[in-house]
């Protein structure tokens, strides 16, 4: 088994990952305040225009992204891709009003229901509370079901939906086969604990396995540092461990909250936001009970996660 080295710092900003292909990484390391809301974006500079992958969350973030894009290219951003409906990927859509905004049809449907209430967002992500009232919804303008290929000169850009709910119901990835670069959206979290509060953990494991079959040398995750297949494999292994351990406890009749406290995280305890074990176990339980259509109780989840954080999460040792 490959050594599992968890980086505590990594490169942030606009980083070239292929010829005229860039990842925009917001965080530079594991933050004690947590990763929630701090996502990555991407930029693909074409012959006539550029394409952005995800628009980040609050205005200060997207203004930073737009400024970094302007420093990188003079070409206009004609296309924006939303990898899924979550606010940390779509909140900044309005800064790309002149672009065609592409997403899966399920992503657009979810987004059309509106952003979560400001008060809930402020509780979920207090670091950005001041900016949530400034959010304005801008919907995708072009949608696809499973697969879409964009041809830009010699360049081919493949958009793919796993055909099932994984991190959300409407995930999309962006793959450049010639350059072997994959923007995985939130199907990939690198060294940041994945968050499945709207996900299907079993399918997410399968979707990650499918992505590991892509001919990609570089994987840009939705959260965490730029990496490669081994990093995505670590995340898949985390989800598989959580699902396996949750199943044992579910079958033994242990409640989800108790299971989340009981599961030993081992090496994964050093990833950012380990308290996400609670929503992840809760979604596994819903999956086992065939109740995934029911939304998770967000208020209860937040209270439970705060409690786990407060307990200093001493599951670090096996
Ligand atoms: Zn997400
Ligand atoms: Zn995200």
Using an 8 Å Cβ cutoff, are 162 and 260 in contact?
no
> CA-CA distances (angstroms) from residue 30 to 24, 34, 191, 261?
16, 7, 8, 22
Proximal ligand: closest to the CA of 172: 1
Six-digit token string for 164: 């099932």
Ligand 2 midpoint to CA 99 (Å): 21
Q: What is the pTM of this model?
A: 0.96
Per-residue pLDDT at 3: 72
Ligand 2 midpoint to CA 57 (Å): 9
Using an 8 Å Cβ cutoff, are 287 and 201 in contact?
yes
Ligand 1 midpoint to CA 248 (Å): 27
Residue 142 forms beta bridges with which residues?
102
Residue 166's Cβ-side half-sphere holds a number of Cα atoms within 13 Å equal to: 28
Residue 159 forms beta bridges with which residues?
148, 174
Per-residue pLDDT at 4: 82
DSSP state of 24: E
Q: State which H helix or E strand residue 155 sits in.
A: strand 155-160
Ligand 2 midpoint to CA 251 (Å): 31
User: Would you tell me how many other CB atoms lie within 10 Å of the CB of residue 38?
Assistant: 23
Residues flanking ion ligand 1, Cβ below 5 Å: 86, 186
As a whole number of angstroms, the distance between CA 278 and CA 33 comes to 18
Ligand 2 midpoint to CA 71 (Å): 25
Ligand 1 midpoint to CA 171 (Å): 9
Ligand 2 midpoint to CA 252 (Å): 33
Q: State which H helix or E strand residue 285 sits in.
A: helix 277-288
Proximal ligand: closest to the CA of 40: 2
Alpha carbon 184 to its chain's center: 8
Using an 8 Å Cβ cutoff, are 77 and 69 in contact?
yes
- Per run of 10 residues, the mean pLDDT along the chain (length 318 residues) is 81 97 95 91 97 98 98 98 98 97 98 95 93 97 98 96 97 98 98 97 98 98 98 98 98 97 95 96 97 89 89 50
Ligand 1 midpoint to CA 5 (Å): 24
Six-digit token string for 195: 């968050």
Per-residue pLDDT at 298: 86
In 86-200, alpha helices (H): 87-90, 105-112, 118-124
Ligand 1 midpoint to CA 314 (Å): 26
3-state secondary structure of 185: strand
As a whole number of angstroms, the distance between CA 299 and CA 188 comes to 25
Using an 8 Å Cβ cutoff, are 253 and 217 in contact?
no
Using an 8 Å Cβ cutoff, are 161 and 172 in contact?
yes
**Cβ neighbours for 303, distance < 8 A, ≥ 6 positions apart:** none
Six-digit token string for 135: 């959010």
Burial of 311 (0-12, 13-18, 19+ CB in 10 A): exposed
């Amino acid at each position: 088994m490959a050594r599992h080295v968890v980086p505590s710092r990594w490169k942030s900003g606009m980083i070239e990952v292929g010829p005229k292909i860039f990842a925009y990484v917001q965080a530079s390391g594991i933050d004690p305040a947590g990763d929630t809301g701090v996502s990555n974006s991407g930029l693909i500079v074409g012959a006539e225009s550029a394409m952005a992958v995800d628009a980040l969350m609050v205005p200060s973030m997207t203004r930073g992204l737009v400024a970094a894009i302007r420093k990188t290219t003079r070409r206009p951003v004609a296309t924006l891709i939303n990898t899924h409906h979550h606010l940390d990927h779509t909140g900044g859509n309005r800064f790309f009003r002149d672009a065609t905004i592409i997403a899966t049809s399920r992503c657009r449907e979810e987004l059309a229901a509106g952003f979560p209430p400001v008060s809930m967002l402020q509780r979920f992500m207090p670091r950005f509370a001041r900016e949530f009232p400034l959010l304005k919804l801008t919907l995708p303008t072009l949608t696809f079901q499973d697969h879409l290929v964009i041809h830009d000169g010699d360049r081919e850009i493949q958009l793919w939906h796993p055909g099932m709910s994984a991190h959300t119901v409407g995930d999309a990835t962006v793959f450049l086969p010639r350059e072997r670069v994959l923007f995985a959206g939130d199907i990939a979290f690198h060294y940041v604990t994945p968050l499945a509060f709207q996900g299907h953990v079993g399918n997410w494991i399968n979707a990650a396995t499918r992505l590991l079959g892509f001919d990609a040398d570089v994987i840009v995750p939705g959260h965490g540092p730029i990496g490669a297949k081994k990093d995505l494999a670590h995340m898949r292994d985390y989800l598989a461990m959580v699902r396996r351990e949750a199943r044992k406890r579910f079958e033994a009749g242990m409640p989800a909250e108790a299971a989340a406290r009981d599961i030993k995280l081992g090496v994964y305890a050093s990833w950012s936001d380990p308290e996400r074990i609670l929503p992840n176990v809760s979604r596994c339980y819903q999956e086992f009970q065939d109740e995934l259509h029911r939304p998770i109780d967000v208020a209860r989840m937040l209270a439970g996660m705060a409690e786990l954080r407060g307990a200093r999460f001493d599951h670090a040792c096996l």
